[in-house]
Structure 1
Amino acid sequence: MLITSLLVLILFNVLATAKIFAKPSSLMFSCLTASQEFQYDFVPPPDVIPFWYIACNYEPALGSIVFCMDSNADSICPFSNSLEVLALGCQTQGDRTLTQTYLMESGKNATKYMKNPASDPDFNFTQLTTPIMFNMSEVVNKKDAYYNFFDNLDDSTKFGDFTIIYWGVLLILIGLFNHISAHNYLKSISLNSRLNQWKALVVLPTLSSYHLNPARFRGIAFFEALLPLRQETFVLIAYILLCVYYTTSNYKVIANSPLFGSPYRQYLRFISDRTGIFAFTQLPLLILFGGRNNILMTISGLPFNTFIIFHKWISRVMMLCAVVHAHQFVIYLEATGTFRRSLGELYFQFGELALLCCLLIMVQSVFYFRKRCYELFLVLHIFLAFIFLVGCYFHVSKIGYSEWILATLGLWILDRVWRFVNIYRYGVQTAQLTVFHPHSTDSNREDPTVKVSIPKPATWKSYPGCFVYLYFLDPHLKFWESHPFTIYDSTDQFGDPTPMINIYIKPKCGTTKAIYDQIMSRDITGVKVLVEGPYGHRAHTENYDQLLLFVGGNGIPGPFSHAARSVSALPYKDVESFKKVELVWSIKTLSALNWFYDELIQLKDTNVSVTVYVTRGDLSLADDDNSSTSSNNNIEPEILTETSHLLKDDTNNKSKKREVSSIITIAEKFHNLSKFVTFIRGRPNFEKKLDQVINECSQASKITTIGLVACGPSLMCDNIRNLVAHRLSRNDTGKFRIDLLEELQVW
C-alpha cells in the first residue's frame, strides 16, 4: 500500500508538468513567446532556461505577459486558466513560485507603466525596463497555432487512453463470457448451442493448425514463430486498426503557421509528436501484460501465454510508432535547419539510446533466438528494457510526458516486489532430488526424469494446474535464474501428512539438461531452493459434470492435480457420485510409471477412470490383443533403479555422500496399477474418446458440462484444440458444453 501511494504521488507531480502543454495553455504560450521578441535589461544565470526564467523573474516581462493574457482571454483560454498554467510553468521551469493573486497584481501594476511600441516610432527595443504592449494580431495568430499544436498533443494522449480502455473493456467482457461458460448459467439448450457455435468459430480454433507448436514459414528455422489463436487474432487486428486510425487521423494544419511554417512542416511535427506520445501510452500495458503478477489474468480468465502474445504485439506497435516518431522528427529538424545542433542535445541523445534499445529488443526477441538460448534472451531483455525506459525518461523529462515512464516503472517495481513477497512466503527449503532412469531396453526411447520434492509451508496454498518458478541455490545451477515448472501438491488433494510439492523434470536440452548433468556429475541429492508462486489461471474443474484429462508424457502433474482435486471435492471415495472423471495418459514406455507410481496409486477406489497408452514400449502381456487385463503374470520383470546422491556437507568439512538404491520391479507396479488402470499399447484416439463422452451427454435430460484439460507435447495440444473446435461446430451441441483448458504454457 505504501509503494502504491508513493507511486500515485509521483504521478500526480509529473502530471502537473504535462498539464502545461494543453489546449487551454495556448494563450499563455502565445504571450510568452511574444515577450521573447524583446530584449529586457535583465541577465539570467547561466544554468537556467532563459525562455522561462526572464518571464517569471523580471517584473516588466511578467507584467507584460499577464496583461497580454487578460486582453486576449476567451472561453477556450480563460484568464484564470492562463494564470494557473503560467504559475505552474514558473514553478517547474522558471525557478519561482507564484500565486494567481500575485500574478493578477503584477498585471494591474504593469498597466501603470505600459508602453506601446506601435504608437512610438522612436521606441528603443533594447534594454527594456518597462512593461510592453505586444502586437495583438500576432498574439492571436500564435494562439491559433499553439491551439492546433496542443490539440494534437491532447489527441495523442487521448487516443492512447482509448487503447487502454479498449483492452480493459475487452478483457472484462471476455472474463464475463468465461465466467458464464464455466458456471453453467445458461439453462437454455438453444442459447447453449449458440455459445458452442461462437466458441467453435471464434474462441477455440488455431489460426493455421498451429498455436503452441511453432509454425515455420517455408520450412526455414529462422522464420519460426508462435501464432495466436483465432480469437486472439481478432483482438489484435482490432487493436492494430485502432492504432492505425489514432496515429493517422484528425491532424489540423493551417496555411502558414507562425510556429512551424508550411503545412508540410506542420505534418512532420504533428505526426512525430502523435506517434511518440502514443508509443509512450502503450508502455504500461507492455509491463502489465508481460508481468507474472497480472490481475487481468484473474479478471479475464485468460492464461499467461495469451497475455504474452498480446505483450509481443503491443511491443511491435510501440516500436513502429517509435521509429515513425524518430524518422519524422529528424526530417523536421533537417527542414528547419536545426538537426546538427540537436545532435549535441541530451534529449536527442537519450532518444537515440532508447530507440537503439527498442530495436535490439525486437531483434533478440525473435523466437529463433528465444528458443535456443532463453536465459540469455531473458537477461538481455530485462537489461535492454531498463535502459530503454531510462532513455525514454530523460528524453522527455523537460517536456512533461514522463508520467507514462514512471507509471511503467511503477508497475515493474510492484511486480518485482510482489515476486519477492511470493519467494519470502515460501522461504528457503531443501529439495530432495531423485533421478529415475529408464530400463536399459527403453533408454533409446525414454529420457530420465528428475523428481524434485520440496517441503511446503503450512500457510502456502496451491491449486490444480498452477506453476512455480524454481531457483536452485547452487552456483553450478545458476542460482540467479528461475525456471517455470508445473507442480503436484499431494497435500491439498489427498491429505498427505507430509506437506510436499513435487516437480517432474525431463532433461532435454538447455536448462533442464544442465540440471540433470550437474546432479549426476556432482552426486547431488539435496539442494537449497527458492520457490516463487503459485502462478497460472485458477480453473475450477471440480464444478464440471464430467472431466476429461488428456495428457502426454511429463505433462501429467497439472491434469492429475485436477483429477485429484475433483475427487477431494466429493465425499471421500464416493464412487457412486454422478461426477465422472477420465484420465487418459500417453507415455512412451512403462518406465514412466516408475516416477509417477506413488501418485497414480492414490486414485485407487475413486471415481477416476484411468487409461494409460504405451506408444513405444512392449507390455509383454500373455494375451496378444493390445489391451490390458488383470492377468499380468507374464510381464517381463524389468528392473528399474531409483538413484539419488547427496551433496557434500561443507559445514563440518566431512563428506556425507550417500547413495540409495531401491530395486523395484515394473511388474509389481504394473500389477498393482492394473487393478484400476487400463493399459493399452498404441496411441490414444482422442477424437473417438471425445465422441464417446459427447454421445453419453446427449442422452441426458439437461445440459451436461464437460471440462477438458490438455497437457503434453505442443502438437498434441494443438490437435486437441482443433478437434474440440470442429466437434462444437456441429448443430447437435445444445445438450452439452465443452470448456477446453490448456495446461501447457509456451512463450
Structure 2
Amino acid sequence: MSNALRAVALSFHSEPLPESLQLMITCVSEVNRYSWLWSSDSGGAFYGKACGEYAPSTQTALQCFVTYGAEGSLKQKLEPFAKYCSLFARSQLTLEDYAVALENGTRFLQDGASVGHGQPLATPIAMPERTMLANLNYFHYIYYNFSAAFNFSLLINLAVAAAVLAAAAAKHSRANDKLTRLVRAKLLVPSVFGTAHHGETRSLPFYRVLLPTRGEAVLLAAFLALNLALACYNYPLVSTDLDTKAMFLLKCVANRTGGLSFGLIPLTVLLAGRNNTLQWLTGMPFSSMVFFHKWAARVMGFHALAHALLWFVYGIYGQPDPVASMFYDFAYWRWGIYAALACAALLLHAAHFIKARWYEIFLVLHVTLAFVFLVACLKHCAEFGWLGWIYLALGLWGSDRVLRLWRLFFRFGGYTHAYAHVISADDHIYKIVIPHVDLARFRFFPGCYAFLHVQSRRWFWQSHPFTLMRAGEGLEILLKAKKGMTRDLLRALPRDGAKLPLRLALEGPYGHEAPLQAYSNVLLVTSGAGIPGPMSYLQKLTLAPGHVRHFAFVWAVPAEDLLESMRDSLLAAADHVRAAAPTTHFEMRIHVTRPRRGAQRPAWVPAEFVISYGRPDVHNIVRRFCDAADGPIAVVSCANPALDDLVRRYVSEQIARSAHRVDYYDELQVW
C-alpha cells in the first residue's frame, strides 16, 4: 500500500534528483566540455566518456565525483557513480574497476585551470574548484525549481481549500457584531463597483465584461497575489560557463511556471463542472464558480504560456541547435507547442462578448480545445512526470460527465413528452410544461435549476440552464427568448398560444435552497420570467412558514399576459395565505411596469395581492422592510440583471445599518 501511495505521489511531479545524481550530471557535463584525443563509436552518448569509454575522461569524472561528493569511505563515494554508469551508460565496469581507474588517474592529474576547453587531452585533469562549485549551484537550482513548482502548487491548492472551508463555515454563521456587519456590507456582499455585477459593463468601446462582487474580488486578489509571489520567489543568479545569468534565470522561471500551470489544471476543471463539490460546500451560485473557473484558467494559462515562451527564447539564444530541429527531433518540444497553442486559443475565444454572442459555437470549441490541451500536456510530459495532475483533471471531468448522465437518465428518467406555448409574444416569453415527473426521484426543491435538453436534430447537443417551478405532478419552465436555441424555439411556436409538442429531458436538479424558514423576516424580489424560483419559495412558505413572521413578495411584471400565465399559482398561494397561522404576516405586491392603456385590475387576482402600475421603488421597499423587521432578515432576489444589482446594493446598505442579521440570497444566474 505504501509503495502504491508513493507511486501516486510521485506522479504529480518529476522524480526528485538526489544530490549524488546532480553531482554526476555536473561532473559529466564538465567532462564533455573538454576535447579528448578519442572519438566515440557510440555517437557521443552523454555518459559514455565518463563511464569507461575513454580512460582519461573517466578518471577525470571519477576525480570530480569523489572530490565534491558526500563524506564517507571511498567505496561509499564510488557506489553511486558505478550505479549511474550502469543505469545510464550500460557500463559493465565494477566498483573495483572504477577504484583502480581512480587510483591510476590520480598519478597523472593535470590542473584543469591551465587547460583550455579546445586543447585535446590524453591525461586526466582536476576540475577547477571555482568552476565546479558554480556548476553544482547551477544544476542544484535548475532542479530546485522543479521541486519548488510542485511544493508551491500544493500550497496554492491548500490555500484554495482553506478558503473553501472558511466560506463553508461562513455559510452557517449568524454573527452580527459591528465588525462582521462592516466586513459583509463593505467587503463581501456589494458589487465591486456601484451596481455593476450581473449587468454587462463596457470596459472598452468594443468589449463588455461581467464584474464580480467585492467578496469574489477579494478572493481573486488573494489568489492572484499568491500565484505571482510564488512564481517570482527565490531565484538566485548563478553565472557559469554553461549559461549566462540571463539564460539561467530564464530556464529557472520556465521550469517553475510550467509546474505551476500543471498544478492549477485540476482546480480549473473542478470549477467548471456542474456537479461541483466546492459549490455544495460554500453555497455559492454556479455563476461564482464560473467566475473563479475563468480566472483559474487565466492564471494557469499565464503560467503555461510563460513556460512555453521562455523555453522558446532559450531555444533561440541559449542552445546551439536551431529551434526547428528541436521541434522535429523531440516529441516533448512538439507537444509542448501544441499545448501552448491550444491554451492560447482557449484564453482568446473565452472572451465574454464571444461567449455571449455565439454561446453554442463557443461551447463546442471550448470543450474541443480543452481536450486537445489535456492530451498535448500528457504527451509533453510523458518522460518527465507531472502526469498525476492531468489524470486527476481527466478524472474530475469524466466523473462530472457520468454524474450529468445519471441526473439526466436516472433522476429525471430520460426524454419525455412536454409542450410549449407563447405567453407574451411582445416580451418574447413562453412556457414549457412537463406534465408528469417523478418528483420523489427527481427531488425538486425551491430555487433549483436544471439544464434543458431538447430532442431535435438541431438542438440535441445543446443544454441550457433554467429555474424550475412545480405545477401539480409536473414541472414548468418560464423562458425569455434571447439568442440561439431559446430564440429558435420561440420562432417555432404558434403566436396564438397553441401548444407545440416537444420531447425533452432535464439534467438536474442543481443549485441550493435558501433556508428561509429559519428567518423571522423574508423578502422575495423578482421580475418578469424570473418568477419560477421566488414562486416556489412562496408556495413552500405559505404552506409551512417555519419561523417566518413577516413575509413580503414583490414581483415586477412587464405585462398582464405574464400575470395571467401565473393565475393558478397565485390563486393557490392566496388560498394558503388565508389558511396560514395568524402569527405570520404576508405582504404580496405585483407591479405591472408596462400596462395596457386603460388597464384595470384583473377580476381574478386575489385580494391578498396588491397590484400597482409602474416600476417598484426597490430602495424604499428594502429599507422599509428591514426597518420593520424584528429579527433575522433574508432577502431573495431573482430579477433582471439591473434590478437584481440594485437589490444587492440596497441590501448591502441595510447590512451595515440594521440591528438584525441581514442575509442576501442571489438566485439570478449569469455567466
Relative to the length of structure 1, the TM-score reads 0.76
Deviation string 1:88-123 (CA, Å, 9 cap, x unpaired) is 9998xx699x9xxxx9x954674366564453479x
Deviation string 1:135-159 (CA, Å, 9 cap, x unpaired) is 6957665433221111222222222
The aligned counterpart of 1:687 is 619
How far has the Cα of 1:581 moved from its partner?
Answer: 2.2
SS at match of 2:651: helix
How far has the Cα of 1:32 moved from its partner?
Answer: 5.8
Matched, 1:715 2:647: no
Distance 1:346 1:597, change over 3 A: same
SS at match of 1:475: coil
Matched, 1:535 2:510: yes
Matched, 1:501 2:425: no
Q: Give structure 2 stretches of 5+ with no counterpart.
A: 111-123, 581-585
SS at match of 1:586: strand
Deviation string 1:709-741 (CA, Å, 9 cap, x unpaired) is 1012101101111111123333xx22x121111
CA distance in 2, matches of 1:9, 1:525: 59
The aligned counterpart of 1:583 is 553
SS at match of 2:415: strand
CA distance in 1, matches of 2:246, 2:405: 52
Deviation string 1:300-346 (CA, Å, 9 cap, x unpaired) is 22111112111212222222223322332222222233343323232
Alignment partner for residue 14 of structure 1, among 11, 32, 37? 11
SS at match of 2:312: helix
Matched, 1:421 2:403: no
The aligned counterpart of 1:652 is none
Matched, 1:472 2:454: yes
Alignment partner for residue 737 of structure 1, among 639, 661, 664? 661
Matches within 5 A, 1:414-453: 414-426=399-411, 427-438=413-424, 444=426, 446-453=427-434
SS at match of 1:612: strand
SS at match of 1:239: helix
- Identify the range of structure 1 (602-611 vs 108-117) with the bigger mean alpha-carbon deviation: 108-117
Contact 1:542/1:565 (<8 A) preserved: no
The aligned counterpart of 2:197 is 211
The aligned counterpart of 2:115 is none
CA distance in 1, matches of 2:477, 2:653: 34
Matches within 5 A, 1:326-725: 326-336=308-318, 337-340=320-323, 341-344=325-328, 345-426=330-411, 427-438=413-424, 444=426, 446-453=427-434, 455-457=436-438, 458-476=440-458, 478-490=459-471, 496=472, 498=473, 500-520=474-494, 525-570=500-545, 579-603=549-573, 604-606=575-577, 607=580, 608-618=586-596, 620=598, 670-697=602-629, 700=630, 704-725=631-652
Contact 2:268/2:293 (<8 A) preserved: yes
CA distance in 2, matches of 1:88, 1:305: 54
How far has the Cα of 1:347 moved from its partner?
Answer: 2.1
Alignment partner for residue 181 of structure 2, among 187, 196, 206? 196
Contact 1:52/1:90 (<8 A) preserved: no
Distance 1:578 1:550, change over 3 A: closer
Distance 1:75 1:738, change over 3 A: farther
How far has the Cα of 1:376 moved from its partner?
Answer: 0.6
CA distance in 2, matches of 1:19, 1:743: 47
Code of the aligned partner of 1:395: H
Distance 1:528 1:581, change over 3 A: same
Distance 1:9 1:253, change over 3 A: closer
CA distance in 2, matches of 1:54, 1:432: 78
Alignment partner for residue 170 of structure 2, among 177, 180, 186? 177
Distance 1:119 1:550, change over 3 A: same
How far has the Cα of 1:537 moved from its partner?
Answer: 3.2
Code of the aligned partner of 1:596: M
Code of the aligned partner of 2:11: V
How far has the Cα of 1:602 moved from its partner?
Answer: 1.8
Contact 1:272/1:328 (<8 A) preserved: yes
SS at match of 2:441: coil
CA distance in 1, matches of 2:47, 2:489: 61
CA distance in 2, matches of 1:397, 1:253: 30
How far has the Cα of 1:25 moved from its partner?
Answer: 4.8
CA distance in 2, matches of 1:675, 1:579: 20
Matched, 1:242 2:226: yes
Q: Percent identity at matched positions?
A: 24
Deviation string 1:253-299 (CA, Å, 9 cap, x unpaired) is 2232x5x4221221121122222222222212211111111111122
Contact 1:67/1:111 (<8 A) preserved: no
Deviation string 1:680-711 (CA, Å, 9 cap, x unpaired) is 111112222222222222xx4xxx11111101
How far has the Cα of 1:175 moved from its partner?
Answer: 2.0
Distance 1:370 1:75, change over 3 A: farther
Contact 2:542/2:576 (<8 A) preserved: no
Code of the aligned partner of 1:171: V
CA distance in 1, matches of 2:162, 2:597: 54
Code of the aligned partner of 1:586: A
Contact 2:422/2:494 (<8 A) preserved: no
- Identify the range of structure 1 (452-461 vs 293-302) with the bigger mean alpha-carbon deviation: 452-461
SS at match of 1:234: helix
Alignment partner for residue 224 of structure 1, among 202, 205, 208? 208
How far has the Cα of 1:468 moved from its partner?
Answer: 0.8
Matches within 5 A, 1:245-260: 245-256=229-240, 260=242
Relative to the length of structure 2, the TM-score reads 0.84
Code of the aligned partner of 1:717: D
Code of the aligned partner of 2:366: H
Alignment partner for residue 26 of structure 1, among 22, 31, 40? 22
Matched, 1:300 2:282: yes
Distance 1:81 1:296, change over 3 A: farther
Matched, 1:154 2:147: yes
Code of the aligned partner of 1:746: V
Number of aligned positions between the proteins: 634
Distance 1:13 1:267, change over 3 A: closer
SS at match of 2:478: strand
SS at match of 2:11: helix
CA distance in 2, matches of 1:744, 1:86: 67
CA distance in 2, matches of 1:82, 1:383: 52
Alignment partner for residue 726 of structure 1, among 631, 653, 656? 653
Matched, 1:111 2:99: yes
Q: Give structure 1 stretches of 5+ with no counterpart.
A: 1-6, 123-131, 491-495, 572-576, 623-627, 629-669
Contact 1:28/1:82 (<8 A) preserved: no
SS at match of 1:428: coil
SS at match of 2:190: coil
CA distance in 2, matches of 1:81, 1:301: 59
- Identify the range of structure 1 (353-362 vs 604-613) with the bigger mean alpha-carbon deviation: 604-613
Deviation string 1:516-564 (CA, Å, 9 cap, x unpaired) is 223449x973333232112223422221111111000010111122222
Contact 1:149/1:270 (<8 A) preserved: yes
